[in-house]
């Protein structure tokens, strides 16, 4: 989760009338840019989530699509490879992710492949379980977003700690896959949902800027939307895993 230092302390023109209101104009301009950036990020994120929900519904309620997916596992593997390549390009190539229309094209390809993967995963669950997971994920996302907006605690300083937690989660996941125990799987999925919930707060505050220690540049709207999207879909996957293992 790369971030950029962004100073929004408002030190310019801090004295009333010290510079004829020039500093206040700068502050107003920065806030206007930031608000426009936030609107753009959430607009992109909304489209991504709508596409993903559409794919999930397609896999759940169209038997032909579900059977095709199960009969062609190579499609899932190809989607994983394309998704990883798209993430690497967007994460490592600043010029690409900031340049339209290529940034939107790559993000669109990533979203379609990720949606195919999520649809394939959801097709192995009962439709009621998937809808419950969608509802819980939506509630958690809304609650954590409101929390990130309201809390005085700065989560943007927790990047290093969250990275360590993510590495521990990956190692725990490898262990859980070897043990094949429902209780261990539920514990792993619960920890995963918690960590990506914290990442959602972290990435939301990075996007908000303001008084937080770190924030993401307004030019990085694609990267910001990508971060939030990945947080939300990971929360969904772990919630779905908890429900599935609890059933078993």
Residue extents of the structural domains in the chain:
22-247
pLDDT at 5: 40
**Cα-based distances in Å from 211 to 110, 142, 147, 162, 171:** 32, 22, 16, 20, 35
pLDDT at 18: 43
Query: Residues of the chain whose pLDDT is less than 50?
Result: 1-23, 25, 27-28
Residue 215 DSSP symbol: B
pLDDT at 213: 65
pLDDT at 210: 61
State both tokens at 148. 């990130």
pLDDT at 29: 58
How much is the pTM?
0.84
Q: How far apart are CA 243 and CA 248, in angstroms?
A: 9
pLDDT at 114: 96
Q: Is 47:225 a contact under the CB 8 Å cutoff?
A: no
Q: How far apart are CA 148 and CA 202, in angstroms?
A: 8
pLDDT at 217: 81
**What Rg do the C-alpha atoms of the chain give, in angstroms?**
20
**Cα-based distances in Å from 184 to 47, 132, 136, 244, 248:** 35, 22, 21, 13, 13
Q: How far apart are CA 84 and CA 78, in angstroms?
A: 10
């Amino acid at each position: 989760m790369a971030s950029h230092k962004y100073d929004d302390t408002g030190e310019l023109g801090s004295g009333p009338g010290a510079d004829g209101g020039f500093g206040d104009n700068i502050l107003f301009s920065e806030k206007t840019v930031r608000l426009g950036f936030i609107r753009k990020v959430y607009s992109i994120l909304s489209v991504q989530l709508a596409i993903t929900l559409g794919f999930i519904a397609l896999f759940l309620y169209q038997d032909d699509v579900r059977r095709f997916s199960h009969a062609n596992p190579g499609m899932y593997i190809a989607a994983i490879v394309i998704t990883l390549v798209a993430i690497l390009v967007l994460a490592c190539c600043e010029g690409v992710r900031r340049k339209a229309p290529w940034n939107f094209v790559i993000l669109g390809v990533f979203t379609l492949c990720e949606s195919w993967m999520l649809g394939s995963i959801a097709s192995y669950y009962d439709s009621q379980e998937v809808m419950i997971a969608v509802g819980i994920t939506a509630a958690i996302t809304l609650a954590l977003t409101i929390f990130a907006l309201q809390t005085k605690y700065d989560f943007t300083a927790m990047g290093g700690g969250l990275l360590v937690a993510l590495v521990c989660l990956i190692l725990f996941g490898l262990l859980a896959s070897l043990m094949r125990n429902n209780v261990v799987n539920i514990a792993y999925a619960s920890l995963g949902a918690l960590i990506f919930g914290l990442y959602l707060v972290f990435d939301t505050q990075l996007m908000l800027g303001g008084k937080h220690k770190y924030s993401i540049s307004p030019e990085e709207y694609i990267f910001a939307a990508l971060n939030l999207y990945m947080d939300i879909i990971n929360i969904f996957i772990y919630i779905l895993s908890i429900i599935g293992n609890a059933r078993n």
